[in-house]
């Protein structure tokens, strides 16, 4: 997540120049992959909380547009989960069932990434690798 934000921020320092150098189609593609990933990670948890409030509260309710947005977003995730190449059907079904739990967790990962970017931009937490000398742990570049 931190890498997504850093890459997007670097590309958006001069968006007109980036769009000219990348071309319009690639620039839009970058916005849809990096920008949308960043935004969706920030909105999944608040959206889930709002949906739960609307479901349990008699005073609040989701509009038809909100229900449609919820259905379309889950359908897009379902299509993605079901079309993963080389995954078994059982893995795809597990992914499909756990999507509503996975998406809100991205909020916490993004919050941590933004905090880390603001407080320690050059600090990078690496995934530990067993049996690889020097790999894993935290590194500063």
To the nearest whole percent, how much of the chain has pLDDT over 70?
A: 92
DSSP summary character for residue 68 = H
How do the residues of the chain divide into helix, strand and coil, expressed in percent and rounded to 5?
A: 70, 5, 25
Instruction: Convert the pLDDT of each residue in 45-74 to its tens digit.
Output: 888 888 888 888 878 777 888 888 888 888
Q: How far is residue 139's CA from residue 118's CA, in Å, rounded to a whole number?
A: 17
pTM: 0.71
- DSSP H helices, 57-128, are 64-82, 89-119
Give residue 130's region: left, alpha or beta (phi > 0; psi -120 to 50).
Answer: beta
Residues 43, 75: Cα–Cα separation, whole Å: 17
Q: What is the pLDDT of residue 116?
A: 92
């Amino acid at each position: 997540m931190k890498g997504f934000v850093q890459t997007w921020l670097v590309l958006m320092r001069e968006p007109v120049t980036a769009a000219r150098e990348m071309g319009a189609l690639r620039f839009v593609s970058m916005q849809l992959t990096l920008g949308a990933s960043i935004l969706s990670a920030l909105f999944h948890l608040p959206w889930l909380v709002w949906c739960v409030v609307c479901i349990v509260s008699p005073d609040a309710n989701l509009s038809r547009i909100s229900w449609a947005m919820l259905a379309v977003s889950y359908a897009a995730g379902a299509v993605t989960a079901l079309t993963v190449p080389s995954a078994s059907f059982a893995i795809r079904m597990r992914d499909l069932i756990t999507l509503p739990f996975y998406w809100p967790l991205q909020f916490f990962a993004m919050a941590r990434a933004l905090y880390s970017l603001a407080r320690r931009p050059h600090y990078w937490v690496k995934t530990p690798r067993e049996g690889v000398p020097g790999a894993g742990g935290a590194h500063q570049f």
